[in-house]
Amino acid sequence: MRRKKMVLILTAFTLAWTGLISSVQEGVVVAQTSSMEAIHPFGKQILKQGARGGDVYELQGRLKLLGFYTGKIDGVFGNRVYKAVRLFQYRFGLKIDGVVGPKTKLKLWKATKHWRPSSPPPKKASLILKPGSQGNDVLDLQGRLKFLGFYTGEIDGKYSHRVYLAVRLFQYRFGLKVDGTAGPDTLTKLRKATQNYNPYSKSAVKKPAPQNKTTIPKSSKGLSQNDITLLAQTIHAEARGEPYIGQVAVGAVILNRLQSENFPDTISGIVFQPLAFEAVADGQIWLQPSESAKKAARDALNGWDPSGGAVYYFNPDRATSKWIWSRPQIKRIGKHIFMK
- pLDDT tens digits, residue range 264-302? 888 888 888 777 888 877 778 888 899 999 999 998 888
Largest CA distance in the chain: 115
HEC-encoded secondary structure of the chain: CHHHHHHHHHHHHHHHHHHHHHHHHHHHHHHHHHHHHHHCECECCCECCCCECHHHHHHHHHHHHHCCCCCCCCCECCHHHHHHHHHHHHHCCCCCCCCECHHHHHHHHHHCCCCCCCCCCCCCCCCCECCCCECHHHHHHHHHHHHHCCCCCCCCCECCHHHHHHHHHHHHHCCCCCCCCECHHHHHHHHHHCCCCCCCCHHHHCCCCCCCCCCCCCCECCECHHHHHHHHHHHHHHHCCCCHHHHHHHHHHHHHHHCCCCCCCCHHHHHCCCCCCHHHHCCHHHCCCCHHHHHHHHHHHCCCCCCCCCCEEECCCCCCCHHHHCCCEEEEECCEEEEC
Q: Which residue has the higher pLDDT, 245 or 217?
A: 245
pLDDT for position 193 = 79
Is the predicted pLDDT of residue 209 greater than 80, yes or no?
no
Tell me whether residue 66 is in a domain. yes
pLDDT surpassing 60 at residue 36: no
The model's pTM is 0.39
Specify whether 244 is located in the same domain as 328. Answer: yes
Mean pLDDT of 196-223: 50
Q: List pLDDT tens digits, range 139-161.
A: 889 988 988 878 888 888 899 99
> Is the residue at 276 inside a domain?
yes
**Which pLDDT band holds residue 206 (cuts at 50, 70, 90)?**
very low
Give the pLDDT confidence score for residue 17 in this predicted structure: 55
327 pLDDT higher than 60: yes
In a shared domain, residues 240 and 273: yes
The answer, yes or no, to whether residue 103 has pLDDT greater than 50, is: yes
Q: Which residues constitute the domain of residue 59?
A: 43-111
Question: 183 and 103 in one domain?
Answer: no
Asked if residue 238 belongs to a domain, the reply is yes
Query: Are residue 138 and residue 175 in the same domain, yes or no?
Result: yes
Residues 6+ apart with CB under 8 A from 70: 64, 80, 259
Q: What is the pLDDT of residue 160?
A: 93
Residue 184 has pLDDT above 60, yes or no: yes
Per-residue pLDDT band at 10 (split at 50, 70, 90): low
**Mean predicted confidence (pLDDT) in 111-134:** 69
Q: For residues 163 and 240, state if they share a domain.
A: no
Would 212 be classed as within a structural domain? no
CATH of the domain at 147: 1.10.101.10
pLDDT for residue 167: 92
Q: Give the pLDDT of residue 21.
A: 46
Statement: residue 8 has pLDDT above 70: no
Instruction: Supply the pLDDT for residue 260.
Output: 84
Per-residue confidence (pLDDT) for residue 54, from 0 to 100: 80
* 19, pLDDT greater than 90: no
Q: Are residues 229 and 334 in the same domain?
A: yes
Question: How confident is the model at residue 311, as a pLDDT?
Answer: 92
Question: Does the structure show a pLDDT above 80 at 18?
Answer: no
- What pLDDT is stored for residue 201 in this prediction? 56
Query: pLDDT band at residue 235, thresholds of 50, 70 and 90?
Result: very high
Answer yes or no: is 118 within a domain. Answer: no
Q: Output the pLDDT for position 323.
A: 74
Residue 310 sits in a domain of what CATH number? Answer: 1.10.10.2520
Q: Are both 58 and 154 inside the same structural domain?
A: no
Q: Choose among 247, 239, 254: nearest CA to 306.
A: 247
Task: Give the pLDDT confidence score for residue 2 in this predicted structure.
Answer: 59
Our count of domains for the chain comes to: 3
| pLDDT at 26 (0 to 100) | 42
Whether residue 232 is contained in a domain is answered as: yes
Q: Please tell me whether residues 139 and 75 are part of one structural domain.
A: no
Q: Are 245 and 314 within one domain?
A: yes
Predicted confidence (pLDDT) at residue 242 exceeds the cutoff of 50: yes
Please tell me whether residues 87 and 188 are part of one structural domain. Answer: no
Please give the mean pLDDT across all residues of the chain.
78
| Region 180-199 average pLDDT | 84
Domain-embedded: residue 144: yes
Asked if the model's pLDDT at residue 197 lies above 80, the reply is no
Q: Quick one: pLDDT at residue 318?
A: 75
Q: Are residues 181 and 250 in the same domain?
A: no
Position 129 confidence tier, pLDDT thresholds 50, 70, 90: very high
Does residue 170 lie within any of the structural domains? Answer: yes
